Chains A and B, each alone.
Chain A
Amino acid sequence: MKSDVKISGNQVQITRIFNAPRERVFAAWKTSDQVERWSGCKDSTKVEVQMDFRVGGTFTQKLHIRNVGEYTITGTYDEIVEPEKIVYHVNLGPATTQVAIQFIAQGNQTKVILTQVGFPDENLSRIVSEGTTESLDRLDQVLSGQVV
């Protein structure tokens, strides 16, 4: 794992430095032909992206997954500040997950901080984090050590 991962309570925060200027990194999120190049996962053979990249605009990503079939994700853009920030949310049945991506220029490099909130409610964070912080701190060690 090349990214720095923090999991606490209801959120995942992933930080990564890319070797490209901020406008270029931001462009990778801006159009469907770019997003199709990197979105999906190890097991997806193809990703079809439709997106209306503006505040209030929606997007769908249809993933074709080996041995599983199709899996479609639908979301809405909540905030776009080019080339600094993108916020969107994705519906997963009763839960909504919100993703915020910050693009920070560092010379010729760009630091991307992605925060994904996995639960539908703020208050839940406290309840869950009481039980998870300790175990996930140790998980961090495992991830940075022998496993990955």
Chain B
Amino acid sequence: MSPWLSPETLRIFNSAVNYCLDTATGRSIFNTVVNNQKKISSVFAALADPTRRRIMERLSGHGERRVTALARPFRISLPAISRHLHVLERARLIQRRRQGRIHFIRTRSAGIKEAQKWLMRCALEWDSRFDAIDVLLAEGERKEKKR
């Protein structure tokens, strides 16, 4: 049991609740979708790669790890690992701390939160579309009764 987001669980929860409150008070869903499209896409793209997923797994439950230690089991060059880390960094899935020439990497939940919020938005959108289908179906029934 070492979910790599567990220290962040409460923060994720809070942001999801804030999101729901925003929606409940009628703020635009689609504003957020359009503005965050690029961020979300970068998360999906970053995690679509098996090497980058393994990097995330190796970081899981470890706190900080040195780049060299992280790279050890992979049969690819250090510059190649470095490029993967850049992609993860841009997607806000990891963060880097420099101590002189040594780089330390740890997970960061910002990217995943973005993806989760996106899923939550999907659910809320479907719910409101289903409301509209309800209206449509009720109309059809009234028309049929008139005939």
Q: Is chain B found bound to chain A in the same assembly?
A: yes
Instruction: Assess whether B57 is in contact with A127, with CB atoms less than 8 Å apart.
Output: yes
CA of A135 to CA of B131 in the docked complex: distance in angstroms? 27
State how many residues of chain B have any CB contact under 8 Å with chain A: 58
CB pair B122–A12 under 8 Å, yes or no, is: yes
* A92 and B37 contacting across the interface, CB-CB below 8 Å: yes
Bitwise interface map of B from 23 to 49 toward A, beta carbon under 8 Å scored 1, else 0: 010101111011001001100110110
**Is the CB–CB distance between B127 and A147 below 8 Å?**
no
Q: Is the interface of B mostly helix, strand, loop or mixed?
A: helix
Assess the A38–B136 pair: CB atoms within 8 A. Answer: yes
Chain A neighbourhood of B134, CB < 8 A: 18-19
Are B34 and A71 within 8 A (Cβ)? yes
Which chain B positions have C-beta within 8 A of A107?
A: none
Chief secondary structure at chain A's binding surface = mixed
| B78 close to A (CB within 8 Å) | no
Asked if A54 lies at the interface with its beta carbon under 8 angstroms from chain B, I say no
- Indicate if the CB atoms of A28 and B136 lie closer than 8 Å: yes
Q: Is the CB of B48 within 8 A of A42?
A: no
Chain A neighbourhood of B17, CB < 8 A: 139, 142, 147
Distance in angstroms from B143 CB to nearest chain A CB is 12
Please state if A41 and B129 are interface contacts (CB–CB under 8 Å): yes
B115 interfacial contact with A, CB 8 Å? yes
Q: Are B41 and A93 in contact (CB under 8 A)?
A: yes
Is there contact, CB below 8 Å, between B12 and A118? no
Bound Cα distance from A81 to B137, whole angstroms: 21
20 chain-A/chain-B pairs, Cβ below 8 angstroms? A1-B124, A7-B119, A14-B126, A18-B134, A18-B137, A24-B137, A38-B136, A42-B128, A67-B31, A71-B34, A92-B41, A94-B48, A118-B44, A119-B47, A119-B115, A127-B57, A132-B12, A135-B9, A135-B12, A147-B20
Question: Footprint of A on B, CB under 8 Å?
Answer: 3-6, 8-10, 12-13, 16-17, 20-21, 24, 26, 28-31, 33-34, 37, 40-41, 44-45, 47-48, 50, 53, 56-57, 109, 112, 115-116, 118-120, 122-138, 140-141
What would 17 more interface pairs be, CB under 8 Å, given A14-B123, A139-B17? A7-B119, A10-B119, A18-B133, A18-B137, A24-B137, A34-B136, A41-B125, A44-B30, A65-B31, A93-B45, A123-B50, A124-B48, A130-B5, A131-B9, A132-B12, A134-B9, A135-B9
Q: Which 3 residue pairs are nearest across A and B when measured between Cβ atoms?
A: A131-B5, A95-B44, A38-B132
